[in-house]
Amino acid sequence: MENTEFAQALRRHHALRVRELAAAGTEMPDGQEAIMLLTSSSDDVDAADFRYRTPSALENTLRELHKAGVDLNVEINGEPASHYLTRHMMTEQAEMYFADPSATLHGDDRSEPVRKLAAFARGGVDFFGRDAQGRGFMALGMDLLRANAELRHPETMSPGYEPSHAWDKPAFSEVVDGAWRDLSFVKREAQRHAPAMKQTITSKTRCRSTEKVQDGMEI
């Protein structure tokens, strides 16, 4: 059963409270429960606490969990934690690419979903695993992006599509560029902050979602 104090601390990304509870010998959540609480909807957090749910607060909370011995590298819903988190991030981020052309053109590593995914990469989650289909987290992210575009923005995928105005949806090929830069940013953060983890992905499996990845980008 969920410990109410710990659950509140994790939902609020309250690193100091997590440290205090761990030091007091409070029963710790397992890795799956911890990650699901950390990614819980803002609806589960008091309005007064929501402003504290920043990427840096999240990273600090993850470090406290790691120090307390919580294993964050678990399977959630049958996939690695990194993939569960990527799925969670892309659910929020995919629409941002179509709503904000500037983010699409330049990459948006400053957006909340991307920065929080990078915080998980810095905070101890292994982003070098693969799912049952052999996909790394970047390949999964691109597959989710394509699925979202096919469902909600199919016109942007047409070969002849070009936005007529600055506020029009960008072409899917441009969305791919922005998403790839964002996911690459997360990958670099994972590599820089996990010296004990594998630093390069030796498998040459390609993401089949886009021509860009098919042309040789590693995942």
pLDDT, tens digit (0-9, with 9 covering 90-100), for 36-72 = 999 987 555 555 555 678 999 999 999 999 999 999 9
Number of domains in the chain: 2
DSSP code for 168: S
Residues 195, 142 share a domain: yes
Residues 14, 109 share a domain: no
Question: Cα separation of 151 and 168, whole Å?
Answer: 18
| Those residues with Cβ within 8 angstroms of residue 198's Cβ, 6 or more apart along the chain or in another chain | 128
| Those residues with Cβ within 8 angstroms of residue 212's Cβ, 6 or more apart along the chain or in another chain | 173, 176, 177, 180
Q: Which residue has the higher pLDDT, 84 or 165?
A: 84
pLDDT digits (tens, 9 = 90+) for 116-170: 999 999 999 999 999 999 999 999 999 999 999 999 999 999 999 999 887 899 9
Last residue of a domain, one of 33, 56, 72: 72
| pLDDT for 149 | 97
Q: Give CA 87 to chain center in angstroms.
A: 7
| pLDDT for 51 | 62
State the chain's mean pLDDT as an integer. Answer: 84
Is 210 a residue whose pLDDT tops 60? no
Residues 201, 93 share a domain: yes
Asked if 40 and 88 touch (Cβ cutoff 8 Å), the reply is no
Last residue of a domain, one of 14, 37, 72: 72
Residues 90, 28 share a domain: no
Last residue of a domain, one of 14, 48, 72: 72
75 to 33, 85, 168: CA distances (angstroms): 11, 11, 39
Residues 148, 210 share a domain: yes
Residues 113, 26 share a domain: no
Specify the pTM. Answer: 0.84
Asked if 44 and 21 touch (Cβ cutoff 8 Å), the reply is no
Residues 78, 54 share a domain: no
Residues 204, 187 share a domain: yes
Residues 144, 51 share a domain: no
Asked if 164 and 87 touch (Cβ cutoff 8 Å), the reply is no
Residues 184, 161 share a domain: yes
| Those residues with Cβ within 8 angstroms of residue 217's Cβ, 6 or more apart along the chain or in another chain | 180, 206, 207
Give the model's confidence band at 15: pLDDT under 50 very low, under 70 low, under 90 confident, else very high: very high
Structural domain for 21, as ranges: 1-72
| pLDDT for 142 | 98
Residues 188, 162 share a domain: yes
Rg (CA), the chain: 18
| pLDDT for 167 | 83
Residues 60, 113 share a domain: no
Q: Dihedral of the CA atoms 57, 19, 190, 74 (nearest 10)?
A: -120
